[in-house]
DNA sequence: ACCTGAACACCGTTCAAGT
DNA sequence: ACCTGAACACCGTTCAAGT
């Protein structure tokens, strides 16, 4: 069957879309190889084997390209969140699963997370294209919605009674802030291990459990083995991802020795 | 009295120190005028009316200069923390005062806070001089110590019994992460107001109170009017700073109209 | 119509030449 | 001994010239 003539334009569009993915792939790889500082439009152009002018047909400016990377990372993060939020577990367990997924994402993609941080710094955000900004907002809204839904489930199932004046959204915002802040501080280079915090992930787990117990979110940790939930997440749900992390660590060790 | 000859070197040292302050002052002012992106060594040199070579005698590189700014901001923040921690209040109130001081600092110095975030991004941190890094670590240790001490006071006074396995340091780290994360998300441009969080500061206050109540940190909010503490902080302790904020807002409004 | 890469402006950094 | 600013390498961005 000969495709209709209309598809000629569509084919070109597909080619362009494919090249955009190629640019983003190369940029992501370069980010890992030469770091944020070393990433230049020249290098990207060289890596994709197109001229700089062509790159600029896809992205308005360097910030826009980085925003494209940020968008893909955000999508990956959202996918992990969705998996966590969709598990067949109690609302409180699912919230823990989301926190787990967040910390996992940051360990899997530390450079992308750092990039996301830089990109969100408002001054940079303004320079990105309207298209990218809009797509970003869509994902943010989806994430916020997925997270809030878990708290709402907790409330509607009767497991959680929100304290006077605190809304679902405010609670989620503060929980998010804790995870985000902990991750940011974690990659900031402040030697928290020297200050009595040997494991950030461990501190967060304990903190979360105490916080949710304090809110009297059932089942309370006295009534339920949340350590088993952690093990379930590690060994079953996110086993493949954790294995990848270990492989990476081993490869790095082999390289340095 | 003629000063001893030794002081000739000392006078020069003072001149150099004064010029370093001048450079930092100009850089801070430029940061406000042209933003992070627009801040260049050329502009700084022009503003201080010295050549670029002279700037480089004070700072190894651009990152080092920004680290100098970061150091001064950190000192300002530490001063605010110290004031809050030294108030004649109960440990729990003092912890609230510190959180208040943190959010106040970020509102007073949004650009410096953004700069601090960028500067801590590890890749940049490595390029700063050993001197600046060392001074930074000293302040960080002081901050961490001041914060932890308030929790320790709560424990030793019998107001707080830490739950099984959670240390002072871990609790402080997570509280810090929440404040830091909330501030970062606040300046990130994500429209949280549209997502049901009209006031980040308000959400944090409610969250903190619920968290500390959940930990059973006495006096619990049923037994004590913490809204009065907030008013005391606003109207007495940090009144001058809040007034400055209002004046700034009015000046900006007058400018735009 | 699409792609190229030379050209431009700007920026961080250095260092030979001045005083 | 101290300071200068021309010079260099690199980078983001543009656009006239190619195919």
Q: How far is the CA of A28 from the C1' of C1 (A)?
A: 30
Which residue among A125, A140, A181 sits closest to B178, beta carbon to beta carbon?
A: A181
Tell me the nt nearest to B42, Cα to C1'. Answer: C11
- Strand D lies under 7 A from the Cβ of residue A50: no
C-alpha torsion angle, residues B247, B248, B252, B257 (rounded to 10): 0
Distances (CA, A) of A62 to A16, A129, B43: 18, 11, 23
The Cα angle at residue A52 between residues A49 and A58, in degrees rounded to 5 = 95
In chain A, the N- to C-terminal Cα span, in Å, equals 58
pLDDT digits (tens, 9 = 90+) for B67-94: 999 999 999 999 999 999 999 999 999 9
pLDDT at B123: 75
* Torsion angle in degrees (nearest 10) through CA of A42, A48, A53, A58: -120
For B125-154, b/e burial (b = at least 16 CB within 10 A) is bebbeeebbebbeebbeebbebbbebbbbb
Provide mean pLDDT across the span B132-153. 96
* For range B141-161, the mean pLDDT: 97
Asked if the Cβ–Cβ distance from A121 to B114 is below 8 Å, we say yes
CA geometry: angle A28, A29, A32, nearest 5 deg: 90
Q: Is the pLDDT of residue B98 over 90?
A: yes
As a whole number of angstroms, the distance between CA A124 and CA A133 comes to: 11
pLDDT confidence band for B256 (50 / 70 / 90): low
* Sequence-ordered alpha helix ranges (H) in chain B: 7-38, 41-48, 52-58, 62-85, 91-108, 110-119, 130-156, 168-186, 200-214, 226-232, 239-256
The pLDDT assigned to B53 comes to 97
Q: What are the chain B neighbours of A179 within 8 Å (beta carbons)?
A: 177, 181
Alpha carbon of A123 to those of A59, B31, B120, B123, B186: distances in Å?
A: 17, 12, 18, 20, 14
| Per-residue pLDDT band at B9 (split at 50, 70, 90) | low
Q: Pick out the nucleotide with least CA–C1' distance to B127.
A: C12
State the sign of the Cα–Cα–Cα–Cα dihedral A57, A58, A64, A65: negative
- Domain boundaries defined on chain A: 76-109+137-256
DSSP calls for A128-186: S-HHHHHHHHHHHHHHHHHHHHHHHHHHHTTS----TT--HHHHHHHHHHHHHHHHHHH
DSSP 8-state secondary structure symbol assigned to residue A127: G
Q: Give the residue from A197, A205, A208 with the most B CB atoms within 10 Å of its CB, the best one to mutate.
A: A197
| B199 confidence band (pLDDT: 50, 70, 90) | very high
Q: Is residue A50's beta carbon less than 7 angstroms from any atom in nucleic acid strand C?
A: yes
Nearest-CA distance from B22 to chain A in Å?
26
Q: Provide the token pair at B154.
A: 């709560």
B33 touches chain A (CB under 8 A): no
Contact B94, B85 (CB under 8 A): yes
Residue of A nearest to B192 (CA): A173
Phi-psi region of B88 (alpha: psi -120 to 50; beta: other; left: phi over 0): beta
> How far apart, in whole angstroms, are the C-alpha atoms of residue A99 and residue A117?
18
| A180 min Cα distance to partner chain B (Å) | 5
* Residue whose entry in the numeric block shows the structure tokens 């770091």: A35
Q: In this predicted structure, what is the pLDDT of residue A3?
A: 46
Count of beta carbons in the 10 Å neighbourhood of residue A72: 15
Closest by Cα among B255, B188, B95 to A117: B188
Q: How far is the C-alpha of B223 from the C-alpha of A144, rounded, in Å?
A: 34
**pLDDT tens per residue across span B104-121:** 999 999 989 988 888 877
For B236, residues 6+ apart whose C-beta sits below 8 A from its C-beta are none
C-alpha A71/C-alpha A132 separation (Å) is 7
Better-predicted residue by pLDDT, B110 or B3: B110
Taking chain B, what is the end-to-end CA distance rounded to the nearest angstrom? 58
Low-confidence ranges of chain A (pLDDT < 50): 1-5
What does the alpha-carbon distance between residue A250 and residue A58 come to, in Å, rounded to a whole number? 37
Residue A7, min C-alpha distance to chain B (Å): 38
Asked if B210 has any chain A CB less than 8 Å from its own CB, the reply is yes
Interface mutation target, options A179, A207, A220, chain B, most CBs of B under 10 Å: A207
pLDDT digits (tens, 9 = 90+) for A201-219: 999 999 999 999 999 999 9
Residue B247's pLDDT is what?
Answer: 87
Tens-place pLDDT, residues B41-60: 999 999 999 999 999 999 99
Smallest CA-to-CA distance from B42 within B32, B25, B56 is with: B56
Task: Give me the pLDDT at residue A1, please.
Answer: 43
The answer to whether the beta carbon of residue B62 comes closer than 7 angstroms to any atom of strand C is yes
């Amino acid at each position: 069957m000969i495709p209709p003539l209309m598809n000629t334009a569509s084919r070109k569009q597909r080619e362009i879309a494919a090249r955009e993915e190629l640019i983003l792939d190369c940029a992501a790889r370069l980010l890992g190889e030469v770091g944020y500082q070393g990433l230049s439009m020249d290098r990207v152009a060289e890596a994709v084997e197109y001229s700089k002018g062509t790159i600029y047909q896809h992205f308005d400016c360097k910030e826009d390209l980085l925003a494209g990377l940020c968008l893909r990372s955000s999508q990956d993060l959202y996918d992990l969140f969705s998996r966590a939020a969709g598990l067949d577990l109690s609302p409180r367990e699912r919230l823990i699963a989301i926190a787990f997924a967040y910390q996992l994402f940051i360990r899997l993609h530390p450079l992308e997370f750092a990039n996301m941080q830089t990109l969100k710094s408002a001054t940079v955000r303004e320079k990105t294209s309207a298209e990218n900004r809009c797509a970003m907002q869509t994902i943010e809204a989806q994430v916020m919605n997925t997270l809030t839904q878990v708290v709402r489930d907790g409330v509607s199932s009767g497991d959680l009674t929100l304290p006077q004046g605190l809304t679902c959204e405010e609670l989620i915002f503060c929980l998010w802030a804790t995870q985000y802040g902990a991750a940011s501080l974690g990659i900031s280079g402040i030697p928290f291990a020297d200050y009595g915090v040997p494991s950030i992930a461990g501190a967060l787990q304990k903190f979360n459990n105490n916080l949710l117990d304090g809110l009297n979110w059932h089942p309370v940790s006295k009534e339920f083995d949340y350590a088993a939930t952690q093990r379930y997440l590690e060994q079953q749900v996110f086993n493949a991802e954790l294995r990848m992390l270990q492989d990476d660590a081993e490869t790095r060790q082999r390289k340095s020795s």
